A and B are shown apart, each in its own frame.
Chain A
Amino acid sequence: MIRRRLGTRLGVGERRSAHVALALTAWLLALIFFFPVFWMVLSSFKEEQDANTSPKLFFSPTLDRYRDVTSNPEGTLAFGDAATNSAIVVLLSTLIVLALAIPAAYALAIRPVPKWRDVLFFFISTKFLPIVASILPIWVLANHFEKLNTLTVLVVLYTAINLPLAVWMLRSFFVEIPRELIEAADIDGAKLRGQLTSIILPIAAPGIAATALLCVIFAWNEYFYAVQLNPIEGSTVPMWVTTNISTRGDFLAKLSAASVLACIPVVLAGWLAQKRMIRGLSMGAIK
């Protein structure tokens, strides 16, 4: 039998019925979780009136909403511009996060500084100030330095937002690197840069990739700072999505179409990277 040749998925003594039941449960839960997304995609192909009425599974699909949201007049925020801005902000901030967090994690994990726990805690504690509260001084500062409506301000803020997460995660990955490797590199004469580039980064690459992906997701979807600080220039995708919200008229189909477009990059990145991400997260025990 072919099945036999492929090897059974069942463990020894495991009942087929139990296996099937568990698999079905997983499928069922997955479908439930995915349903709202599915529904959003469905709505994006509807007419506005059909999106905001009793649930309809069957309708004549239209691409008009996609046309609506992408064909914006000159002078308003275009999807392309927003996506470009988002890409720059997300990529630059993620790169800076890694550039800052990798040496920091080194100093917290591989050659821990005295009181490294306090330092780590400090990084985490920077996330305690409610974003809605921090917007005030940040707006004042950005205004003072004339950085409102620039990509710079978002790059800086997203770096700050993601830095604690990255330091925390990278530290836990670095802790897992066999200490002897670092010592061997020490004796072999590698300095900090050599150790990072030749030894630590290649080994921790899956973990770094997982960290970077999380940073990308959080930065890509960030809305509050983006809309408060960059309503004119340097606007990002989330702001573009919400320009489709109206208080005097239907908008759900348009919003769905915009959301689908907005989510595609991270959803694709997330889908493609999920295995690596799990592997990255499981790099040894997270400590």
Chain B
Amino acid sequence: MTSVTAARTSPADPFSRPWRRRLPLLPALLFAIVVTQVPFLLSVYYSFTEWSINPPTPRHFIGLDNYQTLVSDPFFREAAWTSVLMTVSTVLISLGLGTLLAVLLDRHFFGQGIVRTLLITPFLIMPVVAGLIWKNQMFSGLYGVLNWVLERLGFNSIEFVSQYPLASIVTVLVWQWTPFMMLIMLAGLQSQSTDVLEAAKVDGASVFGTFRQLTLPHLRRYMELCALLGTIYVVQVFDQVDVMTGGGPDSTNIPYFVYERSIGGGWDFGLASAYSIVVVLVSIVVATVALRVLSRLLTDEARA
């Protein structure tokens, strides 16, 4: 085997010069490291300091004090739980709805293009605007269209945003993210080979059976992609919370919580940084487990 190892380390071998392979990766990697990791490291540093600008206090090192404060903060746990609920329910519901819509759209019918166009629009609306429109014109207990409809139907009006803050925010998020999920799922449906479906038809499978046994497994990767992208973006949701409820039990998620601790009024940058570091670490752990263990997105490819 000596010759084998010799060949592997031979400097002239184009395949054993990894830097050549890495070269195209470097610009993006360097960019990402500089633009995202430098701020991250600064945040790590801040998290070990006490630093406020109102009143202006010089930044000074306090070690792990911020982390101690954080551990004993029930409001942070509450916000974390709200974040989990908000993200999971938004992603699941919009994925379900998106799949349903994709299935409905993946067939020829009158006005298909118009329907798709209408459905796609919410995704293109600015989040702040979406939040304000829904809060003031859809959900409002007094002037909201939803309550107007409810009252016409003989029901009592519902103060959606104040009674069900989480559900209201999730509704808006679902409204915005369903089109995105629908697009990906539609892409998934259209990439399914027609042979398989025709084979199933000939084999006498019912429509539902075909969908469950063939289409759904085929869509799994797409669903995972939806879930991944959706989660990454929905976890970060801030604007809708800000304009719809302005925080509170069942609506303060982690971004809003961190915001309140820092520029939203707390001005305690050290503590806020500590919270965000914890968020990043937890996210990495959760994402690692999700991506490596549960999902096939990063695991199933054998393409050396």
Residues of A within 8 A of B (CB): 9, 19, 22-23, 25-27, 29-31, 33-37, 39-40, 43, 51-55, 99-101, 103-104, 106-108, 111-114, 117, 119-138, 140-141, 156-157, 159-160, 163-165, 167-168, 172, 175, 179, 192, 217, 221, 223-224, 228, 238, 241-242, 245, 252, 255-256, 259, 262-263, 266-267, 270-271, 274, 277-287
* Complex partner residue of A29 from B104, B114, B188, B256, CB under 8 angstroms: B104
User: Complex formed: what's the CA distance from A209 to B285 in Å?
Assistant: 33
Is B21 within 8 A of A274, CB to CB?
Answer: no
Q: Is B162 in contact with chain A by the CB < 8 A criterion?
A: no
- Residues of chain A within 8 A (CB-CB) of B293 are none
- Residues of chain A within 8 A (CB-CB) of B121 are 33-34, 37, 267, 270-271
- Residues of chain B within 8 A (CB-CB) of A283 are 191
Listed A/B pairs (8) with beta-carbon separation below 8 Å: A111-B21, A119-B25, A128-B279, A141-B38, A175-B301, A259-B126, A270-B123, A287-B297
Q: A109: nearest residue on chain B (CB-CB)?
A: B303
Residues of B within 8 A of A (CB): 18, 21-25, 27-29, 31-32, 35-40, 42-43, 46, 101, 104-105, 107-112, 114-130, 132-134, 136-138, 142-145, 148, 175, 178-179, 183-184, 186-188, 190-191, 221-222, 225, 228-229, 232, 236, 238-239, 254-256, 258-259, 262-263, 269, 272-273, 275-276, 279-280, 283-284, 287-288, 291, 297-298, 300-301, 303-304
* Complex partner residue of A34 from B105, B118, B130, B132, CB under 8 angstroms: B118
User: Complex formed: what's the CA distance from A226 to B188 in Å?
Assistant: 34
User: Complex formed: what's the CA distance from A223 to B101 in Å?
Assistant: 29
- Residues of chain B within 8 A (CB-CB) of A279 are 187, 190
Given the interface pairs A39-B145, A175-B301, A285-B221, the reply to whether A136 lies near B119 with Cβ below 8 Å is no
Is A9 within 8 A of B128, CB to CB?
Answer: no
- Residues of chain B within 8 A (CB-CB) of A241 are 126, 128-129
Known: A133-B262, A163-B28, A287-B221. 15 other contacts (CB 8 A): A27-B115, A55-B137, A112-B21, A136-B273, A137-B40, A137-B43, A168-B229, A259-B129, A262-B126, A263-B126, A266-B124, A267-B121, A271-B117, A287-B297, A287-B300
Is B148 within 8 A of A263, CB to CB?
Answer: no
B228 to chain A, nearest CB (A): 8
- Residues of chain B within 8 A (CB-CB) of A263 are 124-126, 129
B274 to chain A, nearest CB (A): 10
Please classify the interface of chain B as helix (H, G, I), strand (E, B), loop, or mixed, using the class held by over half of its residues: helix
User: Complex formed: what's the CA distance from A141 to B38 in Å?
Assistant: 9
Is A36 within 8 A of B175, CB to CB?
Answer: yes
Q: B189: nearest residue on chain A (CB-CB)?
A: A282
Given the interface pairs A37-B121, A224-B239, the reply to whether A124 lies near B21 with Cβ below 8 Å is no
B204 to chain A, nearest CB (A): 12
Given the interface pairs A160-B36, A278-B186, A278-B190, the reply to whether A286 lies near B31 with Cβ below 8 Å is no
- Residues of chain A within 8 A (CB-CB) of B272 are 133, 136
Q: A270: nearest residue on chain B (CB-CB)?
A: B124
* Complex partner residue of A141 from B39, B187, B222, B303, CB under 8 angstroms: B39
A121 to chain B, nearest CB (A): 7
A158 to chain B, nearest CB (A): 10
Q: A13: nearest residue on chain B (CB-CB)?
A: B201
